[in-house]
Amino acid sequence: MRRISTLLVAGLCAGIFSLHTPAQAAAEMSLMRLADCGTPQAPVPVNERFSDTFSYGDLKIQFVFSCYLIKHGDQYLLWDTGHSMTAPNVAPKVSIVDQLDKIGVKPEQITYVGISHYHADHTGQVASFPKATLLIGVGDWNAITAPNPAPGVNFKPFEGWIKGDNKVEPQPNDKDVFGDGSVIMLNTPGHTPGHHSLLVKLPQMGSVVISGDAVHFRENYDNNGVPRFNSDRSQTLASIERLKGIVATFKAALIIQHDARDIDKLPAFPTAAK
């Protein structure tokens, strides 16, 4: 009896101690803003399209197009894929594949392609990464795979995933991409039904929130501006509120993907933030 209880105690202790064994060394991480995901155009007035309360008067904003590479150990997440190489006026000068080649990363090394939402300026080059698992909000995936996709749903580059040749994991909520809490796709619907933003927790720089199009420019974020073309007004406002809460909790740097004023928050390509 004593022996059995000793064994039991030993087993319990082993169980308890296993909870306290030091975690595996954290994976090496970095976040890189790619150099070119679309060619910026001249500043444009934003009052008509980007505020359903017409709050911006004569404000003009220069929109930029951006996408990001997150390295986690030997895995990579590509966040958004910019404009296509054939987009009129706004096509990038250098493809994402060629930019990755400059840093010695091959397309088949991209484990995941995370897509903030289905618009053309975020999805243009996704077809260059057929070996990657596609992570996308389920609301956007449903729009892409609808029998007659709505105008503005850039479904064509997703053909390989639609046909089932490539792997897709539609996300109904947040997604802990690498399973250790370091990179989380945040469910922030409203711009589109399945829109997501990205939280990246870097060991040195700290937390970074990459907006997707939950907001388009700083004034949108500061005064809760809702673009008139968004899919859902109340979801947009809830998502902006959520991002503000997350930015406050983690003292995160917010990078608004389309805002030229946010480019300098990360080092210039090919240097990565760590």
Site for Zn ion contains 216 (CB under 5 A)? no
Q: Choose which of 80, 213, 219, 262 interacts with Zn ion (CB under 5 A).
A: 213
Q: How many residues bind Zn ion (CB under 5 A)?
A: 2
Site for Zn ion contains 196 (CB under 5 A)? no
Chain-centroid distance of CA 115 in Å reads 6
Residue 172 and residue 1: Cα distance in Å, rounded?
A: 51
Ranges within 227-246 binding Zn ion (CB under 5 A): none
Query: How large is the C-alpha radius of gyration of the chain?
Result: 21
Judged by CB, which is closer to Zn ion: 80, or 213?
213
Q: How far apart are the first and last CA of the chain?
A: 55
Q: Around Cβ 254, how many Cβ atoms within 10 Å?
A: 21
Site for Zn ion contains 219 (CB under 5 A)? no
Site for Zn ion contains 140 (CB under 5 A)? no
Residue 38 and residue 81: Cα distance in Å, rounded?
A: 10
Judged by CB, which is closer to Zn ion: 54, or 229?
229
Judged by CB, which is closer to Zn ion: 33, or 119?
119
Judged by CB, which is closer to Zn ion: 34, or 205?
34
Q: Choose which of 33, 83, 119, 195 interacts with Zn ion (CB under 5 A).
A: 119
57 phi-psi bin (left φ>0, alpha ψ -120 to 50, beta other): left
Q: Which residues bind Zn ion (CB under 5 A)?
A: 119, 213
